[in-house]
Amino acid sequence: MLLSLGALIVAAVVGILVWSQVGVMAAEPEPLAAVRADERIAITDDSAGIVLSPAEGASDTGLVFIPGAKVDPWAYAATLADVVAEDKVTVVITKPWLNLAFFDLRGLDAFTALAPEVSTWIVGGHSLGGVRACQLAEDADALALFASYCATDIAETDLPVLSLAGSEDGLSTPEKIADARPLLPDDAEMVEIDGASHASFGAYGPQAGDGTPTITDDEMAARLADELDAFAAQDLG
């Protein structure tokens, strides 16, 4: 009996390991190459995460960004490039264990330690990465949701929250985000980006079940930078 149970456990673990590596949505090569060539952005590749920081000038504000399920962390570099280059925000894109944020038990400090010069931290994430960000929000100065919503009730906190949705999102639909609105503080900023789909929040190509975007990648990157800039301009600390 014990041998059979052990075999089942081993088989389950192996199955999860294999599943987590199959179907990972890769970063589109051209947008990523553009970020690597951008002299305004300094890139540090660490085992815990990818750090994108302004090449010139101090950065007081940082964003720990948690990828969606089975999306290559590098797929968000191009979408968040303007946040770094234009807003002067340091971005740490985490590398979740097994490509799934729910399996990653590290605390927020495992990622903020990659940019010790930053004094104010926003934690955020895309899709399921945003759900994980909600769980880490108590250790951050603010929360930003990208096509995501909380499963954790933070309604009674005084945490500044920015929720960004896409009008064409077929996965984290505007309706699902609205349904989860009561879990956020009353003063949470709820923004719907016209023309954005679920995959518009990254640069990894179309995603099954998603809607069709009518906003370009460049327009999306600029819009995210504008929204994050206005949000970070508040007294988050």
pLDDT (tens digit, 9 = 90+) per residue, 40-54?
999 999 999 999 999
Which helix (H) or strand (E) segment is 219 a member of? helix 217-232
Q: State the Cα–Cα distance between residues 114 and 98, nearest whole angstrom.
A: 20
Q: State the Cα–Cα distance between residues 89 and 228, nearest whole angstrom.
A: 9
**Planar angle of CA 184, 217, 47, nearest 5 degrees:** 70
Q: What does the pLDDT read at residue 58?
A: 77
Tens digits of residue pLDDT in 145-166: 999 999 999 999 999 999 999 9
Q: State the Cα–Cα distance between residues 104 and 96, nearest whole angstrom.
A: 6
Contact by Cβ (8 Å): 55, 41: yes
Q: What does the pLDDT read at residue 99?
A: 87
Q: State the Cα–Cα distance between residues 59 and 176, nearest whole angstrom.
A: 34
Q: pTM to 2 decimals?
A: 0.91
Distance spanning both ends of the chain, measured CA to CA: 56
Closest CA to 68 of 151, 130, 5: 130
What is the arrangement of strands in the sheet containing 120-126, beginning at the earlier edge strand? 41-45, 49-54, 90-94, 61-66, 120-126, 142-146, 161-166, 189-193
Closest CA to 64 of 84, 37, 25, 93: 93
Closest CA to 151 of 130, 169, 170, 166: 130
- What percentage of the chain's residues is helix, strand, coil (to nearest 5)? 35, 20, 45
Which segments of the chain have a pLDDT < 70? 1-23, 237
